């Protein structure tokens, strides 16, 4: 069918395609407005910076590209009938120069997010990796809580479950490069946002209203995590960070590495990303329940004292590939593997079933129950005497973009995603004593 369409319709009209890049770092600029001057014909570049204008008559045109934070640029192109006419744009960041002070360049990275947000077909917010890098967010969930209309449910101080416009986490969906990813927990639909390190993601797109090409089971909204696209030249980026957590007197470690390049006369593009995060911390928690009796006496009916010792290790690796057969046909492949070990000891003392001992209307003492519980695990090289929660999410996809003729653009994709949670050797021990 594809061969028939290509042969029968290719020579009728023409195509204008190309890329929009940053002049300095050669990175793609997604969300750029590409328009033929004087005509009502425009398109928006994708997250690879690619754009396509179909069904163009032969002739000479001026093509203009506009981008927030960058100087608009116009190129003239002579379009030949029946061909894919390629033209690339390199935009330079614009700033206001005041006595050697440049205003605007610091927001260069967020300009990509603002352009995508401005040109979206629906209501949403976009965060770029440059903006995430300005804050010490270890995971995607902590980065998301800075978005308007978004709140996060925390676990041990880290953002885990997403709430969009006040709706429960189970009513929202999460995708990776547009592909749905499942929950690692078997008893709910919540995708654990603290499982994915923030430095593995290039852009976060929050869609607060759904469009017809999205799954319809997200009443609240949808979050799309976009990984790094292949670069247009060699790129090396490394991150190394550390810290000290005084509450449990432990250090924390973070490391990241990104390498990308193009090979075989720029036909093959590849980018590899890796991340490692190790934090050993804890929390102290006291929960009390107070009541008032019929005589107006206020007393403690129940109390819990908890001590948590937690270690979280996040490991993540991803690869993105693209192979450009020619100007009309490109194949893309993406893979990402996220693995988090959550080791926890919880020591809990509970005083409950507390009843007052009265002398008339006066309270002279109390009687109740004491429970002491320890949560932990086996003593081996995986559990290390703690409850181990081993969560993993992996996603693999392949897709293609093909310009069949001047009127037909074919995109296809296939993906496989898997998530799991494993708790080996988990144990709870509790001792109870009544009538104290």
- The stretch 70-82 carries a mean pLDDT of 91
pLDDT digits (tens, 9 = 90+) for 27-61: 888 889 999 998 888 999 988 889 999 999 999 99
pLDDT score, position 231: 86
Compute the average pLDDT of residues 55-77: 92
Domain boundary among 45, 64, 99: 99
Instruction: DSSP for 52-100, please give it.
Output: EEEEEPSEEEEEEEE-TTB--EEEEEEEPTTSEEE--EEE-B--EEETT
**Region 415-424 average pLDDT:** 95
Residue 108 belongs to what H/E stretch?
A: helix 108-119
pLDDT over 70 at 134, yes or no: no
Among 108-112, 143-147, 240-244, 347-351, the minimum mean pLDDT is found in 108-112
Provide the CATH number for the domain around residue 155.
2.170.130.10
Asked if residue 247 and residue 288 are part of one domain, the reply reads yes
Q: Say whether pLDDT at 393 is over 80.
A: yes
Comparing 4-13, 53-62, 176-185, 200-209, the range with the smallest average pLDDT is 4-13
Exposure letters 270-302 (e unless 16+ CB within 10 A, then b): bbebbbebbbbbbeeeeeeeeeeeeeeeeeebb
Q: Residues 170, 203: one domain?
A: yes
Number of structural domains (the chain) is 2
Say yes or no: 220 and 87 in one domain.
no
Q: Tell me which residue range forms the domain holding 94.
A: 2-99
Ramachandran assignment for 294, one of left (phi > 0), alpha (psi -120 to 50 degrees), beta (any other): alpha
What pLDDT digit, counting tens, does each position of 367-391 carry? 999 999 999 999 999 999 999 999 9
Residues 30 and 139 in one domain: no
Same domain, 382 and 429: yes
Q: So what's the pLDDT on residue 28?
A: 87
Question: Do residues 46 and 230 make contact, with C-beta atoms less than 8 angstroms apart?
Answer: no
3-state secondary structure (DSSP) of residue 304: strand
Q: What's the mean pLDDT in 119-136?
A: 67
Average pLDDT on 180-198 reads 87
Tokens 């910076």 sit at which residue? 49
Query: Residue 395's pLDDT band (boundaries 50, 70, 90)?
Result: very high
> In whole numbers, what is the pLDDT of the chain averaged over residues?
87
Strand partners, 79: 59
For position 188, what pLDDT does the model report? 83
Give CA separation, 134 vs 102, 131, 175, 196, in Å.
19, 5, 24, 18
Low-confidence winner among 100-104, 237-241, 340-344 (lowest mean pLDDT)? 100-104
Question: What is residue 390's predicted lDDT score, i.e. its pLDDT?
Answer: 96
| Domain final residue pick, 41, 65, 99 | 99
Write phi, then psi, for 190 (nearest 5 degrees).
Answer: -75, 125
- Token digits for 33? 């407005």
> Sign of dihedral through CA atoms 73, 75, 81, 86?
negative
- The contacts of residue 100 (CB under 8 Å, 6+ apart) are none
Looking at the fold, whether 90 and 232 belong to one and the same domain comes out as no
When pLDDT is cut at 50, 70 and 90, the band that residue 8 belongs to is: low
Which 8-state DSSP code applies to residue 424?
T
Kindly tell me if the per-residue pLDDT of 93 is higher than 60.
yes
Asked whether residue 87 falls in the same domain as residue 184, the answer is no
Instruction: Report the sign of the C-alpha dihedral through residues 408, 409, 414, 415, in that order.
Output: negative
Contact 115, 67 (CB under 8 A): yes
* Residue matched to tokens 């978004």: 150
Give me the phi and psi of 146, to 5 degrees please. -90, 0
Instruction: Count Cβ atoms within 10 A of the Cβ of residue 8 and give its class: 0-12 exposed, 13-18 middle, 19 or more buried.
Output: exposed
Domain at 90, CATH number:
2.60.40.1120
Q: Are 368 and 351 in contact (CB under 8 A)?
A: yes
> Residue 311: which pLDDT band, with cuts at 50, 70 and 90?
very high
What length does the chain have?
Answer: 436
Asked if 349 and 280 sit in the same domain, the reply is yes
pLDDT at 232 over 50: yes
Choose the most confident range, by mean pLDDT, from 65-69, 188-192, 383-387: 383-387
For range 229-254, the mean pLDDT: 91
Helices (H), 351-410: none
Instruction: Label residue 272 by pLDDT band (50, 70, 90).
Output: very high
Out of 48, 66, 99, a domain closes at: 99
Please give the average per-residue pLDDT across 407-414, as a whole number. 91
Between the ranges 143-157, 233-247, 302-316, where is the mean pLDDT highest? 302-316
According to the model, what pLDDT value does residue 18 have? Answer: 93
Q: Are residues 336 and 290 in the same domain?
A: yes
CA distances from 170 to 174, 224, 322, 325, 402 (A): 10, 16, 34, 42, 36
What per-residue confidence (pLDDT) applies to 284? 93
Encoded tokens for 213: 């090409």
In the predicted model, what is the mean pLDDT of residues 416-435?
A: 95
Residues 267 and 322 in one domain: yes
* Mean pLDDT of the 299-320 span: 95
Mean pLDDT, residues 190-195:
88
151 and 188, same domain (yes or no): yes
pLDDT of residue 352: 95
Question: CA–CA distance from 200 to each of 195, 276, 277 (Å)?
Answer: 11, 10, 12
Is a pLDDT exceeding 70 seen at residue 151? yes
Q: Is 304 in the same domain as 206?
A: yes
Contact 252, 244 (CB under 8 A): yes
Inform me whether the pLDDT recorded for 103 exceeds 50: no
User: For residue 332, what are the CA distances in angstroms to 47, 181, 326, 398?
Assistant: 13, 19, 13, 6
Task: Tell the burial category of 244 from Cβ atoms under 10 Å away from its Cβ (0-12, 13-18, 19+).
Answer: exposed
State yes or no: pLDDT of 76 exceeds 80.
Answer: yes
């Amino acid at each position: 069918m594809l061969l028939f369409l290509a042969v029968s319709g290719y020579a009728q009209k023409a195509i204008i395609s190309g890329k929009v890049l940053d002049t300095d770092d050669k990175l793609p600029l997604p969300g750029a407005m590409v328009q033929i001057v004087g005509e009502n014909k425009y398109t928006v570049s994708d997250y690879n910076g690619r754009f396509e204008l179909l069904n163009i008559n032969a002739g000479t045109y001026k093509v203009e590209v506009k981008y927030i934070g960058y100087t608009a640029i116009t190129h003239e192109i002579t379009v030949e009938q029946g061909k894919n006419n390629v033209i690339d744009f390199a935009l330079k960041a614009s700033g206001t120069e005041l006595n050697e002070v440049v205003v605007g360049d610091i927001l260069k990275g967020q300009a990509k997010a603002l352009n995508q947000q401005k040109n979206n077909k629906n209501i949403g917010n976009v965060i770029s990796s440059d903006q995430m890098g300005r804050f010490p967010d270890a995971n995607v969930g902590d980065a998301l809580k800075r978005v308007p209309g978004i709140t996060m449910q925390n676990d041990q101080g880290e953002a885990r479950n997403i709430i969009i416009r006040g709706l429960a986490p189970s009513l929202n969906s999460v995708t990776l490069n547009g592909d749905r990813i499942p929950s690692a927990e078997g008893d709910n639909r919540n995708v654990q946002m603290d499982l994915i390190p923030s430095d593995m993601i290039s852009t976060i797109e929050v869609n607060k209203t759904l469009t017809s090409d999205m799954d319809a089971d997200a009443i609240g909204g949808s979050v799309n995590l976009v990984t790094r696209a292949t670069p247009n030249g060699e790129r090396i980026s490394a991150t190394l960070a550390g810290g000290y957590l005084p509450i449990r007197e432990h250090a924390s470690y973070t490391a990241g590495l990104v390498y990308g390049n193009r090979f075989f006369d720029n036909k093959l593009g590849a980018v590899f990303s890796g991340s490692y995060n190790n934090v050993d911390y804890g929390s102290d928690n006291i929960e009390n329940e107070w009541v008032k009796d019929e005589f107006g006496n206020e007393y403690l009916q129940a109390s819990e004292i908890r001590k948590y010792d937690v270690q979280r290790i996040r490991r993540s690796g991803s690869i993105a590939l693209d192979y450009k057969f020619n100007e009309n046909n490109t194949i893309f492949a993406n893979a990402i593997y996220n693995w988090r070990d959550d080791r926890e000891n919880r020591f809990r003392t509970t005083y409950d079933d507390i009843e007052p001992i009265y002398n008339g209307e006066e309270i002279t003492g109390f009687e109740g129950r004491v429970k002491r519980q320890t949560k932990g695990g086996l003593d081996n090289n995986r559990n290390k005497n703690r409850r181990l929660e081993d969560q993993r999410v992996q996603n693999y996809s392949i897709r293609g973009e093909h310009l069949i003729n001047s009127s037909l653009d074919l995109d296809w994709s296939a993906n496989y995603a898997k998530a799991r949670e494993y708790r080996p050797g988990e144990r709870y021990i509790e001792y109870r004593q009544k009538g104290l």
